[in-house]
Amino acid sequence: MASDPRKLKPSELCRLLNSTPLGEVISERQLYRHRQRAGARIGDNKTVDLLRYCAWMHVVRHTPRTTNGVDPYDAMKERARARNAALALAGRDIGELPEVDNPDRKDRASRDFRYFCETYFPLTFHLAWSPDHIKVIEKIEQAVVHGGLFALAMARGSGKSSIAEVACIWAVLYGHRNFVCLIGSDEGHACDMLDSIKTELDSNELLLADFPEVCFPIQALDGISNRANGQLYKGKRTQIGWTAKEVVLPTIEGSSASGAIIKVAGLTGRIRGMKFKRPDGRTVRPSLVVLDDPQTDESARSLSQCANRESILAGAVLGLAGPGKKISGIMPCTVIRPGDMADNILDRNRHPEWNGERTKMVYAFPKNDTLWERYAEIRAEGMRGGDGGEAATEFYRQNQAAMDEGAVIAWQERFNYDELSAIQHAMNLKLQDEAAFFAEYQNQPLPAETVVDGMLKPEEVARKINRMDRGLVSIGANHLTAFIDVQQKLLFYVVTAWEDDYTGYVIDYGCYPDQQRPYFTLREARQTLSSEATGSGLEGSIYAGLESLTSKLLDREWQRDDGAAMRIGRCLIDANWGQSTDVVYQFCRQSKHAAVIIPSHGRFVGASSLPFSEYRRRPGDRVGLNWRIPNVAGKRAIRHVVYDTNWWKSFINARLQVAMGDRGCLSLFGTNAETHRMLAEHLTSEYFVKTEARGRSVDEWKQRPEQPDNHWFDCLVGSAVAASMQGVILPGIEGTAEIRKERMSFSEMQKRRRNQ
């Protein structure tokens, strides 16, 4: 055709098409009808409509109606097939891209992240920035463009997550980063962030105006992700991806965002090895990671979960870029409790690489407490009366100058329509729930719970280090004991050295199989007993594990710091776990260390229970300080020890509270308290409640719901029981020594029985 059909009017196009050799008369009405059949909508982009129609008409006009030797029906089917193929091909092509609406605006925003936020997202960032916002925006810009890690904690509702999402969009649109990974506390959280980003790319008219190379192909999908696989631009696939967990921006020649990837993952999910294979065969890895609130309320209450997430962050996340490359990172977070993951990451002394920035809603509270107390009373009365706080607001209006004196607020523009200032808004939040205010808005949460008298904090336990090497016995220690706690997946153990007065030293602890990492939970164990003993059942794997572990502990000569070699004198093995009881007894009976090891059973002896001191002793029983070895082997043909867990847990708790250097103190090996964080959590995983019944008071120990693992606590308790069995005595405690019954003849026994 001599003329460009894209520039013709419908009537001119009809005349042009009717002039073809095989043409037939076609009207404008038929043209519009054909356009509708081709999938075009009248009133939309006419260029696209006409091109679609021309492609279809070209095939129709130039396909022979009759062919010699060919069935007319087959020819008709071929024409229909060719017509449908041409229509499908034309319908997949998005046509010409619109021109950039404002190139100068687009160019300026490439270098100024704040200007990008203000220009393209006016509905999201409609309030004036606070000084904290400006500081955060500058640091995010630095991390995206030049690299680095940045963690920020801002008051709830300050827009930290929105800023992080817009930073992702800015990074990929200008090609600052070609692969962005969104990580949340779980995968669902990360998918929510990705949905927000997809909504902006699909519906933001300002982005469409200046970034047609990205947004026009996305909007051409009309929200139908299945169209992405076949989308064409100038006859070439755009390679666009649009799924719930991944977005691949269209590949357009000359586009800075061509082929950029945004992918999501949960922090504890599958992160390692994240990559993307491009159509040209190149493999790309993430170069920017955005972690939005990477912890949950549950994980924040657990030291091991916090430590586990920190280790994932330091290993799997920061290693996403691959060997020899550094990854940039942005982490908007909220401090839930002191010492949680966010609190640790924001600590520049502990993690200086993250450049933590902790902002507050209120930097200084008002000085006039009397007026604010009166305000609180008026507000509470008004709320009960149903006035919605109007009386309190009026009181504040009359005394605003005096009530605001001394207050320093972070964001002056942040207050509700029924409030007069940001100061009033902040004080209302504080009056509503003080604990939530300090956690969510000040990033300085109040202690979640008050430790009762006699209870230790994990950090206090971890700091009780004696600066001795691991496995080295103190010169004053004369006894070595061990305890093995049996679980389905793992065996936990503790080895302790004791002086004669119960001054103790934890010289070694761990688990079998070794997890090769400093922090883990039993539920998250990677190497298990069954994986070590392949082909064995549950009992067989426990038996094999006990055999390997006891050989490691009991065959070893432990060196004392005066050069003497010592061996473990008593090792107790937990036989309480239901499915392991029989196999533990079998192992203790058949082991080459049968003289040293003995099965053990911890018993919960509450205030209403019969105490060990009142048990009726039978001939042959060994009885000690709240433990006894019954002279009843039964069908298992081996004796065992039973002890009062409540009493011995209180005993260990008391030993941990003894100051370093005092007699009866229990301490940990090493020079770094951080290495004992997981042990400290186990040792503080329970709390006691003083209970009175039957005229006596007992500390009844209970498991903390947020700390499910207490296995090393059980091990240390059992190790102390073993020390008592070996003759260790704590001066000042009645009945510390083992009670040994005097020998008597059979006639004397009969005489005593008659006299009773």
What tokens appear for 31 in the block? 């043209």
pLDDT of 31 strictly over 70: no
Six token digits for residue 99: 């021109």
Strands (E), 463-527: 479-486, 491-498, 504-512
Q: Is it the case that residue 140 has pLDDT exceeding 60?
A: yes
DSSP collapsed to 3 states, 398-466 = HCHHHHHCCCEECCCCCCCCCCCCHHHHHHHHHHHCHHHHHHHCCCCCCCCCCCCCCCCCHHHHHCCEC
- The CATH number that domain 130-197+246-358 falls under is 3.40.50
Q: Say which range, 78-92, 374-388, 575-589, 646-660, has the weakest mean pLDDT.
A: 78-92
Cα–Cα distance measured from residue 519 to residue 307, given in angstroms and rounded to the nearest whole number: 6
Instruction: Decide if pLDDT at 421 tops 70.
Output: yes
pLDDT value, residue 748: 66
Whether pLDDT at 642 is above 90: yes
Tell me the pLDDT band of 41, cut-offs 50, 70 and 90: very low
Beta bridge partners of 702: 687
Residue 25 has pLDDT above 70, yes or no: no
Cα distance between residue 574 and residue 642, in whole Å: 10
Query: pLDDT class for 239, splitting at 50, 70, 90?
Result: confident
Per-domain boundaries in the chain: 5-92, 130-197+246-358, 362-440, 458-725
Which residue reads 């009386």 in tokens? Answer: 391
DSSP classification of residue 178: S
Query: Residue 451: what pLDDT?
Result: 46
Coil, strand or helix at 48: helix
What residue spans of 355-421 are helical by DSSP H? 369-385, 390-398, 400-404
More confident residue, 628 or 90: 628
Q: Is residue 570 scored above 90 in pLDDT?
A: yes
Residue 6, pLDDT > 50, answer: no
484: β partners = 493, 573
**Residue type, position 724, single letter:** S
Q: Which two tokens stand for residue 67?
A: 């062919």
Burial label, 436 (beta-carbon count in 10 A; 0-12, 13-18, 19+)? middle
Is residue 618 scored above 80 in pLDDT?
A: yes
Decide if pLDDT at 735 tops 60: no
Q: What sections of 510-644 are H helices per DSSP?
A: 529-532, 538-554, 581-590
Q: How many CB atoms lie within 10 A of CB 31?
A: 19
Asked whether 596 and 554 are in contact (CB, 8 A), the reply is yes
Q: Share the mean pLDDT of the chain.
A: 83
Considering 46-55, 57-66, 90-99, 478-487, the range whose residues carry the highest mean pLDDT is 478-487
Average pLDDT over every residue of 238-251: 89
Radius of gyration of the chain from Cα atoms? 38
Beta bridge partners of 276: 284
Mean pLDDT over residues 146-151, rounded? Answer: 90
175-231: per-residue pLDDT in tens? 999 999 988 888 888 888 889 999 999 999 999 999 999 999 888 888 888 888 888
The average pLDDT across 21-37 equals 49
Residue 91 has pLDDT above 60, yes or no: no
Q: How confident is the model at residue 445 (pLDDT cuts 50, 70, 90)?
A: confident
Q: Is the pLDDT of residue 686 over 60?
A: yes
Q: How high is the pLDDT of residue 36?
A: 53
Q: Is residue 242 a contact partner of residue 198, using CB atoms and an 8 Å limit? A: yes
Residues 583, 542 contacting (CB under 8 angstroms): yes
For residues 702 and 686, is the Cβ–Cβ distance under 8 A? yes
Euclidean distance between CA atoms 218 and 358, whole angstroms = 37
Cβ count near 60 (within 10 Å):
19
Tell me whether strands 362-364 and 408-409 are parallel, antiparallel or unpaired: antiparallel
Q: At what angle do helices 10-18 and 28-37 cross, to 10 degrees?
A: 90
The Cα–Cα gap between 567 and 581 comes to 26
Residue-level pLDDT at 338:
81
Per-residue pLDDT averaged across 3-28, rounded? 51
The two tokens of residue 584 are: 């533990």
Residue 70 is predicted with a pLDDT of: 62
Strands 149-153 and 357-358: parallel
Structure confidence at residue 134 as a pLDDT band (50, 70, 90): very high
pLDDT band of residue 59 (cuts 50, 70, 90) is very low
Q: What pLDDT does residue 487 have?
A: 92
CATH class for the region spanning 458-725: alpha beta
pLDDT of residue 372: 92
Tell me the two tokens of residue 343: 């609190």
| Candidate from 358-367, 509-518, 568-577, 745-754 with smallest mean pLDDT | 745-754
What pLDDT shows up at residue 51?
A: 46
Alpha-carbon torsion, ordered 35, 39, 41, 46, to 10 deg: -60
Determine what percent of the chain is predicted with pLDDT higher than 90.
41
CB contact set of 624 (below 8 Å; sequence gap of 6+) = 724, 725, 737, 738, 739
Token pair recorded at residue 96: 């010409």
* Rounded to 5°, angle at Cα 271 from 265 and 275: 95
Instruction: Summarize pLDDT for 301-356 with one digit per residue, the tens.
Output: 776 678 788 888 888 888 887 777 888 888 988 888 888 888 889 888 888 888 88
Q: Over 50: is that where the pLDDT of 511 sits?
A: yes
The kind and range of the H/E element at 686 are strand 686-693
The C-alpha atoms of residue 35 and residue 51 are separated, in whole angstroms, by 10
The percentage of residues in the chain with a pLDDT greater than 70, rounded to a whole number, is 82
The whole-number pLDDT of residue 671 equals: 93
Output 720 or 156, whichever has higher pLDDT: 720
Helices 581-590 + 538-554 axis angle, to 10: 40
Q: Give the residue carrying structure tokens 């949950």.
A: 296
Instruction: Tell the residue number behind the tokens 């000085």, with chain if given.
Output: 367
Amino acid code (one letter) for 297: D
